[in-house]
Structure 1
Amino acid sequence: MRLNEVHYDDSKPVDGYGPGFFRVGGVVIEGGVLLLPSGVSPWDGYEASAPLLAAAPEIDVLLLGTGAEIAHIPAKLRDALEGAGVGLEVMASPSACRTYNVLLAEGRRIGAAILPVPGGSG
């Protein structure tokens, strides 16, 4: 079997996630997370579209994680991203994390805006 080492340049893969948080490049981020070529930062959700639109020239596809389940996103956000020429893939957050890591390893021009999965009740 041949193993290949993956190099991520300046972008960092999602190491893990749990109720209300993500771990990216070894750093825990509470709440939503924004993963762009310019860096990793907290994301406040659908209303915080400015950084997504600003990244449009640097990415071909934006993965948008909607939480534990796939959900509709606001039409205004979808229209703004598509108008900026960004391909949009909406999926549940666990799928968005996995897909982001795979596409990042392939060297794709991607970004991700991911909402956390909710915490447990126990």
Structure 2
Amino acid sequence: MAPLREIEQASRRIERYGAGTFRIEGTVHQGAVLLTQRGVTGWNTVDLARATADDVAAIIAARDDFEFVLIGSGAKMTLMAKAAREALKAAGIRFDVMDTGAACRTFNVLVAEGRRVAAALIPVP
């Protein structure tokens, strides 16, 4: 089992990630998550390279809750499948895909700056 990676930010919402989990504001969440200002929900996506429009439907449904979304692709940067990208673009959602560690760190920094950002995160092993 891989060790949990501590995220050191003065103002943080995502406290740890690793071993298939996320610790967000003191609560451990198993598997992929969608984190918005309204809270944390499970996200049924495990592979961005094969993601469909259905896989990003939860992000689209929450679009009024953020300016843009950071999408964490897991341990390594993975390109999002065309169908999922096109669904987000058609909904007018701005997004950036990066590995999950970078997405967690970037999310915390942007939240500390007071930005309205969401994160859709696939866990790392």
Fold-level similarity (TM above 0.5): yes
Alignment correspondent of 2:104: 97
Which of residues 102, 109, 113 is equivalent to 2:116?
109
Give the alignment's Cα RMSD to 1 decimal: 1.6
Q: Higher helix share goes to which structure?
A: 2
Deviations 1:41-86 (A, max 9, x none): 1211144322200111221111000000000112111111111111
Deviations 1:3-31 (A, max 9, x none): xx85xxxxx71010111110001111011
3-state DSSP of counterpart to 2:55: coil
Q: Unaligned 5+ residue runs, structure 2?
A: 1-9, 46-50
Alignment correspondent of 2:59: 52
Q: Give, in angstroms, the shift of residue 113 of structure 1.
A: 0.3
3-state DSSP of counterpart to 2:79: coil
- The amino acid across from 1:67 in the alignment is G
Contact 2:66 2:118 in 1 (8 A): yes
Alignment correspondent of 1:34: 34
Deviates more, 1:34-43 or 1:18-27: 34-43
- The amino acid across from 1:86 in the alignment is I
After TM superposition, the score normalised by the length of structure 1 is 0.82
Contact 1:23 1:29 in 2 (8 A): yes
Cα distance in 1 for partners of 2:89, 2:55 equals 16
Alignment correspondent of 1:78: 85
- The amino acid across from 1:79 in the alignment is E
Percent identity for Structure 1 against Structure 2: 41
